[in-house]
Structure 1
Amino acid sequence: MTASPHTPRDSRQDRKGGRRRRVAVAGVALADCGRVDEATPYALHAQAARRALADSGLDRSAIDGFASAGLGTLAPVEVAEYLGLRPRWVDSTSVGGATWEVMAAHAADAIAAGHANAVLLVYGSTARADIKAGRRTSNLSFGSRGPLQFEVPYGHTLVAKYAMAARRHMHEYGTTLEQLASVAVQARANAATNPDAMFRDPITVDDVLDGPMIADPFTKLHCCIRSDGGCAVLLVAEEYVPDTAKAPVWVLGSGAAVSHTTMSEWDDFTVSPAARSGRLAFAEAGLTPADVDVAEIYDAFTYMTLVTLEDLGFCAKGEGGAFVEKGRLLRDGELPVNTDGGGLSACHPGMRGLFLLVEAVRQLRGEAGEGQVRKAGGRLPEVAVASGTGGWFCSAGTVLLGR
């Protein structure tokens, strides 16, 4: 087997100088997404898992690692039991939307070190259907106990925390509402070619600006949609690749970082922990932002996309507003971002981090249909980055993938 040109020389060595196995994505899949009124979260987990396994071409007996968060009394044990799995390696890391990139990094390290051979990451949620049926509320306040209790009296909902950060960026760097709105407009344009996207009709900057106010400066279209859905990703050791159904997508590098939970402990509202997770991932991969062809960025709010692009190094700090203008994020733009429509238009069933990895793999494989990114000469993308954000810029996980 030939080595990937993007694999750094020392990524195959552990701290004792022994050989570390390369890790590939062998299977990815979506469960039913959008409006799914009848399914349970467990059913969506199972549907996504079966589809990802079928996509890989491997037998279920190959799976000896499992990662899941957000469901079950003893996650991931309860979900693994539901799926009929008895893994020898498990992970239930839960750091919000960045969970799945952090889990992917953990799984890749475990496989590389020989602690597991094939790790299934799976997620499913009926967040939209549950609220519609009255099974949960839509209250987004956090922390009636512990350090966060001191912010609760001031009405700090999750969206308000992001809105405060966006306002600070606007104050510091002159970022405009129109620039933030353009992120939503481009996400919707990308969603137009995705048959699985929940919203596909085009929108304009004026549509975003004229919408109902949610938390200043965010109107409704600055905020992610609420959907149901699920997905799964299967990571395997390099020895399994000859038996897989499709060409591998390799894990080139990863990084994770945490920042704060209370807003008063956040050093700079204009810097997310992706500034550190991205630096770690690029260093491990031996790549720079200039090598990236496609970026899948967590976008619960338009500001998340803008500031994460800055912090990953695609533009300088404070230049995100100018960078996102003029169609750069479109499928045929300078840096295609959230090519499926993202959380702003495609789906957002509670936590979206795993969907970023699924879309990145599909783009690298050339499986995105009308939404497929093509480089000069019709070439498929070579390198993709998936970067998740959790909480209110509390955590970040970044994964670089390549063909």
Structure 2
Amino acid sequence: MSLRGKAAIVGAALAGCGEAHGKSAMEITVEAVHGALADAGVSLGDVDAIATCQPLDTLSGLTLAQELGLNPKFTMNNRMGGSSFLSHTLWAAMLLELRLADTVLICYGSNQRTASGKLMTALDLPTYEAPYQPMFPLSSYALAADRHMTQFGTTREQLADVAVAARAWAQKNPEAFIRDPLTREDVIASRLVSDPLRVRDCCLVTDGGGALVMRRAETAKDHPRPPVYLLGGGEGTTHRDISEMPDLTVTGAAQSGATAMKMAGVKPADIDVVQLYDAFTINVILFLEDLGFCKKGEGGAFVENGGIAPGGHLPVNTNGGGLSCVHPGMYGIFTLVEAVRQLRGDAGDRQIDGAELAMAHGNGGVLSSQVTNILGTESTL
């Protein structure tokens, strides 16, 4: 049974992005929920399944149901880090196709910036890594970046170009947290944090939340906004701890992307716009390779000199990504919201003309969990 085109996102919203002073993570989540429901023209009482993953609440599905006053038929709380929400869309599509639910709510919220100003994690350092006192998770990504540079000749300048491209997109997005000009030289001159990654190679620490409403395709056109259909999805899990990653230059995106595109019946060249989880600049290079947009080892050349910036050969992270727009701990849901906006034609100055196919890709753990969604307009069914 294929899930291609069986379910659609009919509502999407953001809330509290940047700094949401005085609001808890759950309050940001609930604000996003009500925004998405209003966008979909759906009442709260219609929701019969929820999926969430809150920053420090391991029972956040139960907390959310209580907070919203819901008695859902299904509650999903599978927690894989930032990739969780792109997995939630697949579970939602299955529930809807099997008619076990009619309206699925997917949501997230975090007050990471105003609550602490730094990354908050409920994870302990892995046993075999703790003695080396790495910066978690930063040093794990630095390890992957160093290996990629050593093995393929990827340069500091190419890593910097990922951050520069993200900032150029952010300057077109009034909701982006940082919109100041950024050059390759600025990135390279910024403070070294975990060699070879510097401050500007690292994602923001912000508040923010997002929510999506999903329903069956057969009713998707009954809502106020154009539906965005889930055409394909796939997952790939390779490890939990970076010390156990089979190959530091190959992620589970090679599996998740291939599965998603096979289901959708598309290839990388068909995709109009790409939203990648860019917690660090190396992520974008790795994912572009593993998802098939370029060959392994050629990601650096693919992104350099504005390759993924406005006017480049592939629009990537058109909202500014986690590097310049928003990153409240888990960024995955924001890839989906931006993809929806692009396919609806709602992205303002950063809109990609004629966008009909979008890829959203989430990363969880330390390159551990990869989940890919292919989304499309009605014309792609």
Report Cα offsets for 1:244-274 as digits up to 9, x if no partner. 0011110000001111123332111001111
Residue of structure 2 aligned with 1:54, choices 8, 13, 38: 38
* CA distance in 1 between partners of 2:307 and 2:128 (Å): 41
State the one-letter code of the partner of 1:78. T
- Is 1:341–2:316 an aligned residue pair? no
Tell me the amino acid that sits aligned with residue 226 of structure 2: A
Matched, 1:392 2:366: yes
Q: Does the Cα contact within 8 Å between 1:193 and 1:370 map onto a contact in 2?
A: yes
TM-superposed CA distance for 1:138, in Å, is 4.6
Contact kept, 8 Å, 1:21 with 1:112, in 2: the verdict is no
**1:191-246: CA deviation from partner (whole Å, max 9, x where unpaired):** 00111100001100000000001100111000001000101011111232232001
Let me know the Cα RMSD of the aligned residues: 1.6
**Unmatched 5+ stretches in structure 1:** 1-9, 13-19, 375-379
Deviations 1:271-313 (A, max 9, x none): 1111111111011111100110000000000000110010000
Q: TM-score, normalised by structure 1?
A: 0.90
Q: TM-score, length-normalised on structure 2?
A: 0.95
Alignment of 1:367-386 (within 5 A): 367-374=346-353, 380-386=354-360
Q: Which amino acid aligns with 1:220?
A: V
Determine whether 1:240 maps to 2:219: yes
Q: Which residue does 2:9 correspond to in 1?
A: 25
Q: Alignment partner of 2:342: what SS?
A: helix
Q: Is the 8 A contact 2:273 2:355 kept in 1?
A: yes
Work out whether residues 34 and 198 of structure 1, in 8 Å CA contact, stay in contact via their aligned partners in 2: yes
Distance 1:89 1:366 in 2: 32
Q: What is the aligned partner in structure 1 of residue 254 from structure 2?
A: 275
In structure 2, C-alpha distance between the alignment counterparts of 1:166 and 1:216, rounded to whole Å:
9
Aligned to 2:336: 357
For residues 161-216 of structure 1, give each alpha carbon's deviation from its aligned partner in whole angstroms, at most 9, with x where no partner exists. Answer: 10010000001100000000000000000000111100001100000000001100
C-alpha distance in 2, partners of 1:125/1:344? 17
Deviation, structure 1 residue 326: 2.7
1:17 is aligned to none
Match of residue 194, structure 1, among 156, 165, 173:
173
How many residues align? The count is 375
Please tell me whether the aligned partners of residues 203 and 278 of structure 2 are also in contact (alpha carbons under 8 angstroms).
yes
Match of 1:306 in 2: 285
Match for 2:91 among 100, 103, 106?
106
Aligned to 1:305, the other structure's residue is in SS state: helix
Residues 1:143 and 2:124 aligned together: yes
* 1:175 is aligned to 2:146: no
Letter in 2 for 1:385: M
Q: After alignment, is 21-30 or 326-335 more displaced?
A: 326-335
**CA separation in 2, counterparts of 1:244 and 1:141?**
38
Please report how far the alpha carbon of residue 72 of structure 1 lies from its aligned counterpart in structure 2 after TM superposition.
3.9
What is the CA–CA distance in structure 2 between the aligned matches of 1:99 and 1:21, rounded to whole Å? Answer: 21
Among candidates 2, 5, 11, match of residue 11 of structure 1? 2
Answer whether contact 2:241 2:366 (CA < 8 A) is retained.
no
CA contact (8 A) 2:273 2:359 kept: yes
The CA deviation at 1:59 is 2.4
Candidates 34, 44, 48, aligned match of 1:64: 48
Alignment of 1:166 with 2:145, yes or no, is: yes
Answer whether contact 2:162 2:303 (CA < 8 A) is retained.
yes
Asked if the contact 2:242–2:367 (Cα under 8 Å) also holds between the matched residues in 1, the reply is no
CA apart distance, 1:77: 1.2
Instruction: Pick closer, same or farther for the CA change 1:141–1:61 going to 2, 3 Å.
Output: closer
Query: Is 2:112–2:119's contact at 8 Å kept on the other side of the alignment?
Result: no
Give the superposition deviation at 1:130: 1.1
How far apart, CA to CA, are the structure 2 residues paired with 1:208 and 1:58?
44
Q: Which residue matches 1:85?
A: 70
What is the distance in 1 between the residues matched to 2:27 and 2:364?
25
CA distance in 1, matches of 2:122, 2:148: 23
User: Matched residues in 2 for 1:226 and 1:21: separation?
Assistant: 35
Tell me the percent identity.
44
